[in-house]
Each structure stands twice: as structure tokens, then as C-alpha cells.
Amino acid sequence: MPSYHEVMTTDLSSLTAAARKWDDMADAFHKVEAPYKADVHGISLGGPLWNGFSAQSANARFDITLKELQAAQKEAKAVASLLRDAHTDFVELKKRVEQARDDAVKAGMRVSDQGACHFDFSKVSRQEAYTIHHDPELHETERSWTAHIDAAVKAVCDADEGVRIALNAVVQDSDPLHGMPGGFNAGAKGDVEAYEEEAVHDIAKRIADGKQVSADELKELQRALRDNHDDKAFGQLLLHDLGPHATIKLGNELGERLGDADGSARLQLAEMERNLANTLATATAVPGSVKDAPPGSEQFKAWLASKDGTFYREWTESMKKEGTKNFGPNTNPLYGYQAYVSLLQHADTDFDDQFLYDMGDQVIKAEKDHPGIFTMWGPGHKGIETDAVDGVLDLMSRNPDAATAFFDPDGNGTGSDHVGNDHLAYLLGSGEGSRDWPKNTITGFGVTDFDDPTSRMGLGRALEAAATGHEPLNEGESGGRPGPHTGAQARVMQNTIQILDDGAGGESVHANLQKPLGHALADYVVDNHSILAENGTKYGSPEGKEGIWTEGDEAGITVGKDSLMRVMRGVSADDQTYALLQDTQRMYALEQLTHAPESGGTSNDAWKNPARDLGAVTGAMNSIGSDVIFDERDGKISAANDMAKYAYHGAGAPITGLPVLGDTAQRLVDVATYEWSKDVIAAAESKGQEQNSDHYAAGISGTYDMIDRWAEDRGVDIHDEENKKRDPNWDAWQAMRDEAKQSYSASRGDAAVNLGWE
């Protein structure tokens, strides 16, 4: 196998030079073929010059020679093609090695001729060198960069082994009945990956059948999948030879062996499982976009009928049959779609958006045609996603465009290519016409149904991706700048809120939907702010509008204030989600204050208006928090503290999904001293008396504190209680506090109605 030094120094042009010589060889054989066919082979075909048994005997021999001349040309051309294929691959892979080296150098490493990385102390000062030299993480950092380069070199080694296999195979006579046995290869192929697939598909079939294979065979399958998982031709050849039935069995067998393995064997099987899934992702890629050519459209149907669409069409049609077959015992069934989707989930390559849309429709139809097919019986099967529908939705979350298209209630495509869908209502809604999510069924003396603890996890992640345009956020990950959103994303968010609040039921949101929908709502902080503050005609607040708002390429939600508050309340049953929404809305309102002019202006309106919005938003958020702890918790104070530990000033990890807002607002929040949990507690303690409007102002201290910090930042002396300096902005500051109190109290009054306190 080539080393780093060999990869970097080998002259790859020798491959194309050799390919030209093999082409020349094919031309030379071709030049011989014509006169041989006419002057030698031809005279043995019968005629005035030669007849009889001797002519017939000679003809048989001459015929073999002619076929060998033709086969030699085929073989020579195939070898030339293989060498050019190898050259193309090696050039690209060498660039990746060079890029890995450049990455290491950019990170401060010095790379040896063998690809080993060590920190380059010549590029830093003596003091920096001393500090770095004593850094306990230095050696691990150096090892990680060496491993980064090694991985790129390993890809070259894998490709090199594939070329070796192809060159050995291309010179083997594949048809002993054509010409002379052991002669030139009349069936020679010029594709390296075709020979690699030929070498491993039998190994894969034997594993699928539960048979043992040698360690060398297992390594060869591992290498072939690692080297070619991103090659469409290889993937389609392998999957065609296996077929859906054997592919499902292969995935199951790899999973079972993985569960029993440890150490290096476990790593090997996990890599094979991952790259088999990646091979499926590559092989099922569809040209174009689901937005323009969704499954079911005329354009998509035309592609399916084309030569390019043949594999996809045959594969999916076969999978529809295999997907509903039981691959397990009758007492604990394992249906094909369950195993197939579970295999797909191991991929670290994104699946095509049209494929995911099509898969979503397939598993939903399978469930409708076979009710109960995705029920978990007893413990289920280890490593298997029992609910294939939720599993496909989880796959969609990794491809946000696919998720958006799948849930967009307006459908996809235009004209004859338009295809509508009711996926959002079916999967998120409740009651007639919506999905009855499968249970976990235990049998014994009787039959007992339990809620699946993983139910709707895929749905939640897919909705977050669909509404925001980014993959679901990981624990502690920032949400970045909020928005902007496309029309399709906004429609998903708008309809999600409307469906959840159907019949004013938005306060009840499934536990597994609370976090992802909270992340999505935080990304719509700009719209939420205007809806809660009842700003302008754009949003139609408080009633809201039927459709979203659009301005050019950007769009947003226009739901009613009551629906938004109830859904915010529903997702806030999760402590971290409430802290996210509280911090997000508070910080954005404070950022809006930073845009106010330097002076309060006539009647102080320039400062009063953003203060009014701030009061309305904090009033709404405090009401939501107080409703959670008053209605659902025994210990109100401890519950509020549970929420607050996730807040911006909490001691734990950064709150997941918190958007990145303006620097000034961030700085003012940093210097603020109050804790919003105290406001929530105060609001909750007064909730029992909310029918009395005197209590609507409970919990406003934090709002005053934000206004005070902002005013101080503008130069107002808030400690000058009599305004002895006669600062006109001092009066504006007082007006801000009065305005904020009024809007805060009004928002609390709205909450009393919207959240059912009255």
C-alpha cells in the first residue's frame, strides 16, 4: 500500500502514458484483424480454393484465433480505461491528501515526509513556544492532525487496492467458450468499481444468509464499501445484485453481529453498517429537487421511465413488497420497513430529498394498508426503529429542504408537476383523519398498551428542520441569527401552531415535541415579538391572519396572539424550552430598544413605543411561566428555579437554541442584575387573584431593570430622583417605565383570557 511519501511524490501521469500504450496495442490488434479475417479466416469458409474436411478443421482453429484477436482488442481497451479511471481517482484523492496537509500546516503543524505532524515552534515567540510546549493537550493535538492526514492516505490505499483487483480480474478469461479457454477476456470491463463489486457481492450475500466468511473476505467487503460508498455505479450494481430482500437481511445480520462484538471487530462491523447505509444514500439519489419535481409529478414519472431512473424504479417497487414482509418470529415480528429504515439511519451521508419524500409516503401507505405494522411488541428488536414512519422523519431532519417540502401544506411543484400533501395535519393533528401513533404492546395474561417513550422524536426533529431550514440543534448549541425564513418554512411553522391549537388545545404539546418546537419558535422571535406586542397591520394581531406574510424572498408567521401564547405555554412544560423562549423574547425586545434614537423626542414616543413592546412581551412570557408552575407543579418556587437554571445567566451549559442577537443587547443583559425567575414566581403567586386587575402588574421588576440598564447606557442618571440636571431624557425614561407597566399589565390580562384563568 502506498505511503504518504509515495502518494505525494508519485508521478501519476505514467498511468495515462501506459493507457495510451494499451490503446496502441488495441489498434495494432485491430490492424491485424482485418487482413487475417480476409486472407486466412476467409479462405476456410468454403469456395473454389478450399473445401472438405481439412477446410472445416482449419476454420474451427482460425475462428478461435479471430475471436482471440477481437478479445485482445477488448481487453487492451478495458485495461486502458481502467488506468484512466485510476488516474482520475488518484488525482482527486491526492488533492485531498494535500488539503489535509495544508489544514495541518494552517493549524501550526510541521508535516514530515512520512505525514507525521508536530507543532512548528519556529513560527511562534519564545513565550508562546514555552506555553504550548507545556500544554498537556499538545501531543493529542499532534496525533489528531496526523490521523487527519492518515485518513486521506488510507483513502488512496483503498482505491489502490481496488485498482489492483480490477487489473487482476480484467485479464482473466470470463468466457471460456469464446475463443480459447484461458485466452484474452472478451467480456473485459473498463470500470474499476465494477470489478470491485464483482469481488464482494458474493461475500455480502453469504453474510446476509447468516453464513460465516473469512477474516480476509470481511476485510475486503469493508474496504470496498469504504472506498466506493459514494460511487453511484458501484452502489447500484451491488444493490441490484443483492436485491432489497438480501439487503435487509444483510443489514439485520450486521446489526446482530455488531451487538455481540467488541473491540476492533465492533468497529469494523459498525463501519460496514455505516457505509452500507451510505451506499444506499448514493445509489438512490434523484436528479433535480423535490420542490420542482416531487414524487408523483409528471417530471418525476418521466425520470422513472427513463434509463437513468430504472434502478430507482425497480428498487423502490421491490422494497414496497419486502417492506411489509415479516423477517422475524410471529410473536415479535420484524417488518422489512422497520429493518430498512433502521439501516438507513446509520448513514452519515444525507439522503436525497425526493427519495426521503417518497420513502415517507411509502411507509405511511404501508401502515394504512397494514394497520398495526409498526407496533412494538414486548421489547422489540435491539437497534431497530420500530416506528418506521418516525424513523424516516428523523432522516428528513438531516435534510431540512426535504423536511420542509414534506410538510409544506401548499405542496410542491408547479402546473402539471404540482403535488399536494396533508402530511403535517396527518402526523401532527389529533382525532379523525390524523395518525394513530403506535404503542408498545406487552402480552402475557392480558394485553397491555404503553406509550412509546420515543414516539414523535423523529417528528419533532423534522418539524424543527422544516420550519427553520437548519438541522436540529444539539445540546448547548446556539441557534445563530434568527431567520430569515422562506415561504415554505413559514407555512410549516404557521400551520404547526394552528394545528396544535385546534380547539384552543395548544397548551397540550407532546413531551417529545416540546424541545424541537421550542427551538423553532425561538427562530421566529421577530414575528413572535410583533404578535405578542400587537404591532402593525402586517401580523393582524391579536386576531392574526389566515396566511403568512411575505416580502420578496422572506416570509413569516401571522398566527393569532392567543394561539401563539397557548402553544408557547404547551412547549414550556419543558423547563429548558421555557427558559429558551423567555431569554429569546426578552433579549430581542431589549435589542429593539437599542435601535431607539438618542433622544426621547416629542411626547417621548421614540422611547415609549419600544418600552411598550418590551412590557407586552415580558408580561406574556412571565404569564406563561407562572401558568406552568402554578397549574402543574407542587413546589412553585423550586419549579421556577428549575427553569432558571437553564437561563442565559445559568451556571450550566449554554441554553440550546438561544439565537445570536445584537452585541449591545447582549452587553446590557450581561450587566443586568435581576433574575427573571423571581418575576415568574411573583406572577404565579398573584395568579389566583388575576381577576383583580391590580395584580396584573406582579412580576414587572425585571422589565423595569432592563429599562433602567438601557437608560443608564444612554447617559440617564437614574439615581437623580428629582432630575436636578433637568435632563429631558430623564422624563423620557420615566415615561418608558409607565408605558411598559401599562402594556405589561394588559398582556397579563390577555393571558388570563388566553390561558383560561378567567
Residue 394 lies in a domain: yes
Q: What is the mean predicted confidence (pLDDT) over 385-411?
A: 97
Range ranked top by mean pLDDT from 361-365, 597-601, 603-607, 723-727: 361-365
| Residues 637, 698 within the same domain | yes
Integer Cα distance of 147 and 140 in angstroms: 10
Q: What is the mean pLDDT of residues 275-302?
A: 97
Lowest mean pLDDT among 7-11, 349-353, 446-450, 560-564: 446-450
Q: Is residue 205 part of a domain?
A: no
Question: Residue 379 — very low, low, confident or very high, per pLDDT cuts 50/70/90?
Answer: confident
Same domain, 599 and 525: yes
Classify residue 417: in a domain, yes or no.
yes
pLDDT of 431: 84
Together in a domain, 155 and 299: no
Q: Does pLDDT of 382 surpass 80?
A: yes
Domain total for the chain? Answer: 3
Place 174 in a pLDDT band, splitting at 50, 70 and 90.
confident
Could you tell me if 494 and 408 lie in one domain? no
| Residue 378 near residue 332 (C-beta atoms within 8 A) | yes
In DSSP terms, 110 is beta-bridged to: 118
**Closest alpha carbon to 517 in 437, 475, 434, 578:** 578
Least confident of 353-367, 400-414, 417-431, 677-691: 677-691
Q: Is residue 178 part of a domain?
A: no
Which pLDDT score, from 0 to 100, does residue 220 have? Answer: 94
Whether 444 is covered by a domain: the verdict is no
Strands, E assignment, 663-750: none
- Select the highest-mean-pLDDT range: 189-203, 308-322, 585-599: 308-322
- pLDDT at res. 46: 61
Q: Considering the chain, what is the average pLDDT of its residues?
A: 90
* DSSP assignment string, 403-466: HHHHH-TT-B--GGG-B---HHHHHH--STTS----EEEEESSSEEEEE-TTTTHHHHHHHHHH
pLDDT digit string (tens) for 93-109?
999 999 999 999 999 99
- What does the pLDDT look like over 140-166, one tens digit per residue? 999 999 999 999 999 999 999 999 999
Q: Are residues 575 and 669 in the same domain?
A: yes
Has residue 158 been placed in a domain?
A: yes
Indicate whether 215 belongs to any domain.
no
Write down the residue that cell numbers 504550548 correspond to.
132
Whether 199 maps to a domain, the answer reads no
Residue 689 binned pLDDT confidence (cut-offs 50, 70, 90)? low
pLDDT tier at 667 (50, 70, 90 boundaries)? confident
Q: Are 750 and 622 contacting, i.e. CB atoms less than 8 angstroms apart? A: no
3-state secondary structure of 556: strand
Tell which of 170, 186, 206 closes a domain: 170
Burial 33-57 (b: 16+ CB within 10 A, else e): beebeeeebeebeeeeeeeeeebee
* Residues 514-564 pLDDT 10s: 999 999 999 999 999 999 999 878 999 999 999 999 999 999 999 999 999
Where among 414, 434, 454 does a domain terminate?
434
- In the chain, DSSP finds a helix count (H) and a strand count (E) of 28, 7
* pLDDT tens for each residue of 617-657: 999 999 999 888 877 656 667 777 778 878 776 544 568 88
Starting at the edge strand found earlier in the chain, the sheet holding 376-377 runs 376-377, 439-443, 447-451
Q: Give the model's pLDDT for residue 671.
A: 66
* % of the chain beyond a pLDDT of 70: 93
Q: Do 379 and 496 belong to one domain?
A: no
State the pLDDT at residue 311: 97
Q: Is the pLDDT of residue 470 over 80?
A: yes
pLDDT at 179: 67
Residue 221 has pLDDT above 70, yes or no: yes
If we measure between CA atoms, which residue out of 412, 547, 437, 435 comes closest to residue 491? Answer: 547
- Do both 369 and 503 map to the same domain? no
Residues 241 and 154 in one domain: no
What separation in angstroms does the CA of 214 have from each of 161, 162, 219, 372?
Answer: 18, 19, 9, 40
First to last CA, the chain: 77
Average confidence (pLDDT) over 162-175: 89
Output the pTM of the full model.
Answer: 0.88
Query: In Å, how far are 29, 60, 68, 195 from 182, measured between CA atoms?
Result: 18, 17, 10, 18
| Rounded percentage of the chain residues whose pLDDT exceeds 90 | 65
More confident residue, 526 or 758: 526
pLDDT at 476 over 90: no
Q: What pLDDT does 242 receive?
A: 97
**Quick one: pLDDT band at residue 47, thresholds 50, 70, 90?**
low
Q: How confident is the model at residue 664 (pLDDT cuts 50, 70, 90)?
A: confident
pLDDT for 632 equals: 62
Q: Are residues 550 and 690 in the same domain?
A: yes
Name residue, grid cell 419558535. 521
Handedness of CA 746, 751, 753, 758 (dihedral sign): negative
| Grid cell of 49 as nine digits | 480454393
User: Cis peptide leading into 484, omega within 30 of 0?
Assistant: yes
- Domain extent, residue 82, equals 4-170
Residue 45: pLDDT band with limits 50, 70, 90: low
Both 507 and 384 in one domain: the answer is no
- Say yes or no to pLDDT of 681 above 60: yes
What is the rounded CA–CA span in Å between residue 55 and residue 708? 113
In terms of Cβ atoms closer than 10 Å to its own Cβ (0-12, 13-18, 19+), residue 432 is exposed
Gyration radius of the chain's alpha carbons: 34
pLDDT digit string (tens) for 71-90?
899 999 999 999 999 999 99
Three cell numbers, residue 84:
484512466
Whether 404 and 299 map to the same domain: the answer is yes
Checking if the pLDDT of 444 tops 90, the result is: no
Boundary (domain end) residue, out of 391, 418, 434: 434
The dihedral sign for the CA sequence 305, 311, 314, 317: negative
Q: Are 421 and 492 in the same domain? A: no
What would the mean pLDDT of 649-667 be, rounded to a whole number?
73
